[in-house]
Amino acid sequence: MTLATFALAWWWVDRPLPLMKSSVELSLEAGTTPREVAQRWVDAGVDTSPWLLYQWFRLSGQARKIRAGTYAVDMHTSARALLDKMVQGDESLESVRIIEGWTFRQVRAELARSPSLRPATAGWSDAQIMTALGLAGTPAEGQFFPDTYRFSRGVSDLAVLMPLQTDPTVIYGLGESFDGNLRKRDLLADTPFNTYTRRGLPPTPIAMPGWASLRAAVNPAATSALYFVARGDGSSAFSASLADHNRAVNQYQRKSTKGP
């Protein structure tokens, strides 16, 4: 590659992609090849060569890191920014708003009106929904906090109603009685901080939050992730589906607990 060709290629990946309309949205399924991804963006309305777009994916070294999801680009999005979106899983999220004072019937009606939610609970009774959420016997009224909830297109309406269910809140609530081994009975031990037994956020922060934590709480990342599991090295693996989460649990937790 000559210096002039390299400079031209560098210029191209950072200039806004020409679009057939003001914005273009595309849903990618798991297993879509990088070449297919490039072609589908062009078919959706990105006015460029699919070969050129594919070559950028390939030469970047990140073509195999493209994630499934729904992505949106506008008139300011470059080829580099497009690839970054797909590699980072920076999805175009939908939202639904639950209004203070609504009954659960009104909440269900609002979820049913959203064309972006998969109606997994259509035809279910309130009791069936609460059972599926692990709250069998609990009345639905008053259990769902009024707020604007963001989600990936195609997620089920049940997922929007899910409790937080994060293990660190359970551990914090157990205090000094926690011995390092989290058991099912611990998840069911009700404390003000247990997000398995109580909906919404804990009453206070757990441990001492740093600046990064505070910034993330005020400006949450736009992501489709619903689950996380500790890798054991101080970082976490995030997943958008229960199936992916279970695979991550098997990889990072269950295997690590097996003896030699």
Q: What's the pLDDT tens digit per position in 132-163?
A: 877 788 899 988 888 888 777 777 788 778 77
Q: Name which of 45-59, 102-116, 245-259 the model is least confident about.
A: 245-259
Average pLDDT of the chain, as a whole number: 84
Q: Averaged over 114-133, what is the pLDDT?
A: 88
Strand, coil or helix: 231: coil
- Decide: residue 196, CB within 10 A, 0-12 exposed, 13-18 middle, 19+ buried: buried
**For residues 91 and 17, which has the higher predicted lDDT (pLDDT)?**
17
- Cβ-Cβ contacts under 8 Å for 118 (sequence gap 6 or more): 154, 155, 156, 157
Tokens of 125: 């009774």
- Overall pTM > 0.85: no
Tens digit of each residue's pLDDT (9 = 90 or more) over 156-187:
788 778 778 888 999 999 999 998 888 888 98
Dihedral Cα 163, 117, 132, 178, nearest 10 deg:
-20
Q: Which of 45, 53, 52 is nearest to 22 (CA)?
A: 45
CA separation for the pair 122, 249 (Å, rounded): 30
> What are the structural domains, with CATH classification, of the chain?
12-88 (3.30.1490.480), 93-160 (no CATH), 163-221 (no CATH), 225-260 (3.30.160)
State the pLDDT at residue 38.
96
**What confidence score (pLDDT) does residue 259 get?**
46
CA 218 to chain centre: 17
Q: What is the share, in percent, of the chain residues with pLDDT greater than 90?
A: 34
Highest mean pLDDT among 4-8, 217-221, 232-236 belongs to: 232-236
DSSP code string of 140-163 = STT-S--SEEEEETT-BHHHHT--
